[in-house]
Structures are given as C-alpha cells and as structure tokens.
Structure 1
C-alpha cells in the first residue's frame, strides 16, 4: 500500500489488514496484535514526517510466510521515506514499546532513502490446525 502521510490513512491500514488477515484465517488475538503494531508504525511515520513536506507518503508491504515446522508468521515493512525522522537512536518511546509488545521482532533500518520498520509477528499454527472456524 502507498498511503498519503495523513492521519486519515490509519483507518485504511487497519481495515485492510483486518480483512487480509481474516482471509488468511489468522487467529483473532494475533490479528489484533498485528493491526495495533502496524497502526502504531504507520502513526509514527505520519507523525514524524516534517510538517513542511507536502505529498509525503508511507509505504506498507506485508506477506505471510511458513516456517519449516508449518507455523506461519506475518512480516510487515513500513517505510516512511527520507522525510520520516523518528526518535533518536537508543530512544524507545511508548509507540515502539507497544510494537515490541505486539510483535515477536522489530527492526528499524535507517538508510539514505529514509526509515523502514520491519515487524515480525508471533508464530501461529498451520492453516489447518489449532484455531476455530469462523
């Protein structure tokens, strides 16, 4: 998804992720964790883009992957481009702490083009095992 760096984009991200995870039959509790973490990462990108930048975008990409034992995870990348300037190195505000609580892993990559957050969900059972039908 390519979204305008605008608070209105947050509802779009939440709705699309809920729908996509539902189609993957993701367990409801983990859906909530992923949606909250992605919402927080996009919020950070939107809030920390310099206000003088017009037309700034936030990019969100996600995929499901299977581990050798059949367990599944979601990997999400949130990129704010060169204008995203989150907290200084070593500082973890409440948003990053919440993302850490909701996801198994988080990496923040700082490059010339900007900041990218990589979020990895908790492992859930294979599609055909371990969760009730809807």
Structure 2
C-alpha cells in the first residue's frame, strides 16, 4: 500500500544526553505519530517506550563524556497485510557506566509491555535499543 507523500514515514533526532531532552522526544514522537494517524492508545505506548529508552540511555552515559548525545530514529513500515508498525532505534554514548548491582527498576519491563519486540545490542561504541511497535490497522483513504 502506498502512503501519501505528505505523511513523513521517518523521524530522526540527535539530543543532548540531558534529562531536559525527554520532553522534546516525547513531544516530537507524539506529533509524528499523530501525523501518521496512529491510534491514540498505541501512540501512548510508543511514546512511553521511547521516553524510557532515552531515559536509560541518558542515565547510562558515563559522566566523563562531555557533550554526549542520544540518537533516536524511527520509521513507519507496512506489513504484507497492510498493517502498520514503527521501528525505533535509540543509541547513545561511547562510554557507558558499569551496570549497577542488584535490581534497578521496571523500565525494561515497561518497554517490553509497550512494544511487540525489543532488542538491545552492546557494541564498543555504546548500546543501541531497537523496538518494534504493535501492529495497527492500515490507513483508509476517502476518494
């Protein structure tokens, strides 16, 4: 199914690794998903998951990394049956804090409950979290 060209199926941003950036990412993702005519309940799930992933990235960046950034990119895609999903990547920092001992919280559990698929890769230049949303219905267009 082809989507109208005025619907931008991709969003990308580079944010300072600072908690102030969280409101920016939430606002931009909500606006982007609304433009894509995403169902409201699913917008909330995606925005919460992205917010938590960015929060984790910001918290994990080593304090010695001055001017560190968190990169967020997402795209909408259609499945063969016409259903739509978004694929989101959150990556940040070259130096990460060591994993704290013990239980830290519910963040990853919440991300998993909001998204259909979540994967984390740890590379020498940081961590990237890939998240795939729940499938939503195809867009229907009135002639």
Same-fold call, TM > 0.5?
A: yes
Question: RMSD value over aligned CA atoms?
Answer: 1.7
The alpha-carbon distance between structure 1 residues 128 and 95, as it changes in their structure 2 partners (threshold 3 A), is: same
* Contact 1:56/1:83, CA 8 A, preserved across alignment: no
* Contact 2:94/2:125, CA 8 A, preserved across alignment: yes
The structure number with the bigger radius of gyration is 2
Q: Distance in 2 between matches of 1:86 and 1:75?
A: 27
The answer for unaligned runs of 5 or more in structure 2 is: 1-12
Of residues 101, 108, 111 in structure 1, which corresponds to 2:113? 101
Please tell me whether residue 15 in structure 1 is matched to residue 27 in structure 2: yes
Which secondary structure does the structure 1 equivalent of 2:66 belong to?
coil
1:20-44 Cα shifts (integer Å, max 9, x gaps): 0000000000000000000000000
* Contact 1:2/1:59, CA 8 A, preserved across alignment: yes
The alpha-carbon distance between structure 1 residues 86 and 64, as it changes in their structure 2 partners (threshold 3 A), is: farther
* Contact 1:85/1:115, CA 8 A, preserved across alignment: no
Of residues 45, 56, 59 in structure 2, which corresponds to 1:33? 45
Deviation of the 1:92 alpha carbon: 7.8
Aligned to 2:4: none
Q: Distance in 1 between matches of 2:89 and 2:74?
A: 6
